[in-house]
Amino acid sequence: MEKGESYAIEVESGFKEFWRYNIAVTCGMFDADGTQCGFRSAENTVAPAGSNLESAPEGTPVHRRLSFTAGDCHHLLMYVYLIPNTLPPSTRIADCKPFKVTVRVSYEGTEIVHMTPSVNQWSGASIEIRADRP
C-alpha cells in the first residue's frame, strides 16, 4: 500500500474460464457527512465485449486478480462489474453453472469486506459494496 493510501481493494477468481470476463471497479470515496471527496477506478480487460474468442488469449493467467488502493476517507461506495467479453459456448444451464469471485477490502491492513458472490456466466455481474472504515 502506498503512503497516504488507506484502503486496499482486490477482486479475484480462479474459475478456469475467468478469461471470458473483464473486470471493472469504480470506487467513490466519501466523508462522514456523505459528501464525495474522491474517486478511484481500475480495470483488467482481456478482450473487448463481444469478442467471442474460442480460447483465452496467450499469456492470460487462469487465476486473475485486480488490486488497487484508495485514499483515506470515512467510507467507500464501490461497484464491481464482471463483463463478459465472450459468452459460454453452451446454452444449457447445466453446462454453465454460476462461478464465484472473491472481493476483499482492507483498511490499513484490517480486512473489512470479504465476500464471494456468484456470477452468472451469461450476464456477468454488477455488485454494489459499501465499505466503512473500522
* pLDDT digits 0-9 by tens, 23-59: 999 999 999 999 999 999 999 999 999 999 999 999 9
- The structure's pTM equals 0.93
Compute how many other C-beta atoms are within 10 angstroms of the C-beta atom of residue 35: 9
User: pLDDT tier at 4 (50, 70, 90 boundaries)?
Assistant: low
The burial of 73, by beta-carbon neighbours within 10 Å (0-12 exposed, 13-18 middle, 19 or more buried), is given as: buried
